């Protein structure tokens, strides 16, 4: 049973492999749209070496729980998802997700991966709440997170400054009891 914790309908979560995944990230990061959907910081390329070093630094770290997302159908690695920013023990964590190739966007992989990481975060790590942020210009992301069970907790007004205008950042979250209710319903 515990084997299936990291397996969804469409995806499975697997460990990060610095050698393999640094190359993937470097290629995904060539797409500025990907970078701007994923991160509020300025868009920037990193060398494969730098990505690899960063990944290696996080190996064996208890401060983060990062996974790669694998498409079950063709075993391609399509993105990443991870928990970080743990506050205390068994309290809150922050989830970040990306699906690299735009061809894989809007196909339900992200929602499925999110459901899996919620099961891991609440079912294995005993978290109380999981948070995320998503940008105003990413309605597809908002819809996906709502589908996974996240609720809007507020709007950080005009947080981003991109393309000559300010954009809001939405704050979303889900409590363990809400996730339990969802999993019972489903």
Partner 1 sequence: MINDKLFESQDFILTAIDFDKDPEIDSLYSLNLRYARYWCDSLIKPLSKNEMKKKYEKIEKKVDEGGRVVHFAIRTKTDLHLIGYMRINILWSLGAGWLVTAIGDPEHYGKAEEQIIPLALNYAFRELNLYRIEFDLPEYEGEKSNILIVNGFTLDAVNREVIYFDNRFWNELLFGILKPEWEALQEVKA
Residues forming the site for partner 1 (CB under 8 A): 40-42, 63, 86-92, 128-129, 131, 153-161, 166, 171, 173, 175
Q: Whole-number minimum distance, CB 9 to partner 1, in Å?
A: 28
Task: For residues 99 and 78, give the distance between their C-alpha atoms in angstroms, rounded to a whole number.
Answer: 6
Q: Whole-number minimum distance, CB 90 to partner 1, in Å?
A: 7
Nearer to partner 1 by Cβ, of 89 and 184: the residue is 89
Name the residue among 79, 131, 133 with its Cα closest to residue 105: 79
CB 83 within 8 A of CB 125: yes
Nearer to partner 1 by Cβ, of 4 and 126: the residue is 126
Helix (H, G, I), strand (E, B), or coil: what is residue 131? strand
Nearer to partner 1 by Cβ, of 72 and 128: the residue is 128
Residue 146 is encoded by which pair of tokens? 């709502």
Show the DSSP H helices in the chain as ranges: 18-28, 32-38, 48-58, 109-123, 139-148, 176-185
Q: Whole-number minimum distance, CB 104 to partner 1, in Å?
A: 28
Nearer to partner 1 by Cβ, of 76 and 91: the residue is 91
Q: Whole-number minimum distance, CB 181 to partner 1, in Å?
A: 15
Task: For residues 39 and 98, give the distance between their C-alpha atoms in angstroms, rounded to a whole number.
Answer: 10
Q: Whole-number minimum distance, CB 86 to partner 1, in Å?
A: 7
Nearer to partner 1 by Cβ, of 34 and 86: the residue is 86
């Amino acid at each position: 049973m515990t084997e299936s914790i990291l397996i969804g309908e469409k995806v499975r979560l697997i460990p990060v492999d610095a050698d393999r995944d640094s190359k993937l990230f470097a290629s995904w990061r060539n797409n500025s749209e990907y970078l701007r959907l994923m991160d509020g910081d300025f868009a920037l390329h990193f060398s494969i070496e730098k990505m690899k070093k960063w990944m290696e630094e996080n190996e064996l770290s208890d401060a983060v729980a990062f996974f790669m997302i694998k498409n079950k159908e063709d075993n391609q690695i399509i993105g990443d998802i991870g928990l970080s920013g743990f506050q205390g023990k068994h309290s809150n964590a922050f989830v970040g997700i990306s699906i690299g190739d735009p061809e894989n966007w809007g196909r339900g992989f992200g929602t499925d991966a999110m459901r899996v990481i919620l099961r891991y975060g609440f079912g294995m790590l005993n978290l109380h709440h999981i948070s995320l942020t998503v940008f105003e210009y990413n309605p597809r992301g908002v819809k996906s997170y709502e589908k996974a069970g996240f609720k809007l907790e507020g709007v950080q007004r005009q947080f981003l400054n991109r393309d000559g205008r300010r954009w809001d950042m939405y704050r979303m979250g889900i409590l363990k009891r809400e996730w339990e209710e969802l999993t019972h319903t489903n």
